[in-house]
Structure 1
Amino acid sequence: MADIPKIRWSCKKSLKGHINKVNSVHFSGDSRHCVTGSLDGKLIIWDTYSGNKVQVIPLRSAWVMTVAFSPSGNFVACGGMDNQCTIYDVNNRDSSGVAKMVRELMGYEGFLSSCRFLDDGHLITGSGDMKICHWDIEKGQKTMDINGHAGDIAGLCLSPDMNSYVTGSVDKTCKLWDVRDQGHKQMFFGHEMDVASVYYHPNGQAFATCSEDKTCRMFDIRADQELCQYEAPGKNAGFTSCVLSSSGRYLIASAIENGIHAWDAMKGTHNGILNAHENRVTCISITPNGMALASTSWDQYGKVWV
């Protein structure tokens, strides 16, 4: 198998607008718009082609830790230290011209660490009370309440076909779940510290993880085991978030020490580093069409890489 070319993405847009640490980012299904959440108590929806703000949504709680865009682009969800998940309708505005709040999903005993839409009517969340909850948004009710892990749930990613999802936790494990079922299907071990983020392979048969133990790993679902381990040269910091390219060949992970690392996912070799942030990179999100990457950081900026 031939080597893949060195990653040569450049920073095309700086998303400037937040006035505090930016904690998370997620792309819409149209691969053009993304939402960022910051400790300044605002969600900002961006047009990444122009770098302009489309909407600013003020939040009741500033402690936002996760954001999600529905695949249709109609809704955004966020949550954090306020122990609830709040959903906004992007297309409808209230009297003050701000996106209309549709639902506040209560009932968590810990902070909300991750949320993802199945569709416009259903949502899955993971939280610091170790639980995974499935929600019917229209009714505002839980359809499932699962004791997921033995520690805070840190990351959650849906499979490409939306029928299953994988979670990563502070208990150092990852678990595979079926959307229609309560119990986990498989459990994966290997990391020595918190699993910070998980991301499905585009073929749906494997997933990547990154951790504070300074490694990223690839787990194969059919083989039920770890396939490969990825480390940064210099091995100087843990990782906060990871994604795979649409081909599955590039594994990209953001690091605590400002950089975004890339590897050849098949060969396990380090492929390059993207430097543009001046502080910890908190989250990265890749467009559904695989053409661009967005990153957020404690330096108060979002960046779009192409």
Structure 2
Amino acid sequence: MQESQSQTLLPRQPTVVSALAFSPDGKLLAVIHRGGVRLLDSLTGKLRVAQELSKMGVFGGTFSSRGTLLATQGQLSSGAEIQVFLWETSTLKLIRSLAVKGASVSSVKFSTNGNQVLTTSSDGRVRIWETSTGKTQQTLVHDQVEWATCLPDPERLLSLSSFHFQAERRYMVLCQWNRQTGKLLKQSKLFYGGVNDICDCLALSPDGKLLACGLYSHKSGDPLPSSIQLWDIETGRLIRVLKGHRGGLDSIAFSPDGERLASGSTDKTARVWQVKTGKTLQVLPGFQGSVFAVAFSPDGKRIAAGGYDGSVQVW
């Protein structure tokens, strides 16, 4: 295990960095913060384009496969429902918004070809939207879904809901769907903890075989040291548990080859793990608050992290 030196791309700002995303060609780094969106040159940190949105809380971010669009979550005003905003990457012009009446969007992903947007929302439903028109193509309903993503197989998608109890044990319901027909293909229960345990962040490996769950426990209101659970998608079996952070988990991301996992924590560090063994490869320090966002570059050679102190660092 070693500590690594970083390059600071964005000095500390008064706003919290909530998400980071590299463009598919690796040239841009999208920095999503509470006050807007910035696109930086990922090597030099030079600002390419920015959209400051003082009236809109903005968080979450993902590029389309071609890199021409950026999707974020946000609010038009304080207390309003959270919706999806689609931005033209070159100008950060707002193309359209995707809103669910009476519900807030909890997650957003592009399909593998970028032609569709996949969302989950507080009404417990998965929606598939046509990117070019903003029209809903499919709505999937199953047991208060909180998170969803596309699998490498273009015909399938994965959804998850985590707030379930059985005999004082928490479990997640993992579902696989046919994306075209909306048919439920498979579901399984993953028992991940006790009544005080919370699954706070999720990531799917690039090959679609492993699900990483960032878990922490709350007892008497105080967060305890956290762990990362790795689950086999097909068998529903817990493969291994990664331990090392001294605080709660806020973000996790797989490397493009699936061999490493990055995590950000309330202990003011990011870590890089070896997926095969569960060992910590690197500790990435230098933050003055929680690390809310981690991201790998498309070639896997760089890791970006940002968080509560408003800074963005790249290793």
Asked if 1:191 corresponds to 2:187, the answer is no
Aligned mate of 2:22, from 27, 39, 51: 27
Equivalent pair of 1:24/1:284 in contact (CA under 8 Å)? yes
Structure 1 residues 120, 248: closer, same or farther in 2, change over 3 A?
Answer: closer
Deviation for aligned residue 1:244: 2.1
Amino acid at match of 1:19: P
Asked if 1:277 corresponds to 2:281, the answer is no
Task: Please give the alpha-carbon distance, in whole angstroms, between the structure 1 residues aligned to 2:103 and 2:289.
Answer: 27
Equivalent pair of 1:168/1:195 in contact (CA under 8 Å)? no
Structure 1 residues 142, 212: closer, same or farther in 2, change over 3 A?
Answer: farther
Amino acid at match of 2:260: Y
Asked if 1:288 corresponds to 2:288, the answer is no
The residue that corresponds to 2:207 in the other structure is: 203
Which secondary structure does the structure 1 equivalent of 2:94 belong to?
strand
Aligned mate of 1:112, from 90, 105, 108: 105
Deviation for aligned residue 1:60: 7.0
Q: TM-score w.r.t. structure 2 length?
A: 0.81
Deviation for aligned residue 1:280: 0.8
Asked if 1:217 corresponds to 2:218, the answer is no
Deviation for aligned residue 1:272: 3.5
- More divergent stretch after superposition (294-303 vs 185-194): 185-194
The residue that corresponds to 1:48 in the other structure is: 42
Equivalent pair of 2:201/2:250 in contact (CA under 8 Å)? yes
Backbone CA RMSD of aligned residues = 2.5
Gaps of at least 5 residues in structure 1 are 1-5, 94-98
Q: TM-score w.r.t. structure 1 length?
A: 0.83
Structure 1 residues 249, 137: closer, same or farther in 2, change over 3 A?
Answer: closer
Asked if 1:73 corresponds to 2:67, the answer is yes
Structure 1 residues 126, 249: closer, same or farther in 2, change over 3 A?
Answer: same
The residue that corresponds to 1:248 in the other structure is: 258
Equivalent pair of 1:29/1:71 in contact (CA under 8 Å)? yes
Structure 1 residues 67, 149: closer, same or farther in 2, change over 3 A?
Answer: farther
Deviation for aligned residue 1:86: 1.1
1:69-103: CA deviation from partner (whole Å, max 9, x where unpaired) = 11211111111344211111123x5xxxxx32211
Structure 1 residues 271, 176: closer, same or farther in 2, change over 3 A?
Answer: farther
- More divergent stretch after superposition (118-127 vs 50-59): 118-127
Deviation for aligned residue 1:17: 7.4
The residue that corresponds to 1:14 in the other structure is: 9
Task: Please give the alpha-carbon distance, in whole angstroms, between the structure 2 residues aligned to 1:158 and 1:9.
Answer: 33
The residue that corresponds to 2:87 in the other structure is: 88
| Matched ranges for 1:98-247 at <5 A | 99-118=92-111, 119-150=113-144, 153=146, 155-160=147-152, 162-171=154-163, 173=172, 175-178=174-177, 179-182=179-182, 183=184, 185-192=186-193, 193-213=197-217, 214-232=226-244, 236-247=246-257
Structure 1 residues 7, 167: closer, same or farther in 2, change over 3 A?
Answer: farther
Gaps of at least 5 residues in structure 2 are 76-80, 164-170, 218-225
Deviation for aligned residue 1:156: 4.3
Asked if 1:37 corresponds to 2:32, the answer is yes
Amino acid at match of 2:213: T
Deviation for aligned residue 1:30: 0.8
Query: What is the aligned-residue identity percentage?
Result: 18
Equivalent pair of 1:262/1:271 in contact (CA under 8 Å)? yes
Equivalent pair of 1:201/1:244 in contact (CA under 8 Å)? yes
Structure 1 residues 104, 245: closer, same or farther in 2, change over 3 A?
Answer: closer
Structure 1 residues 28, 206: closer, same or farther in 2, change over 3 A?
Answer: same
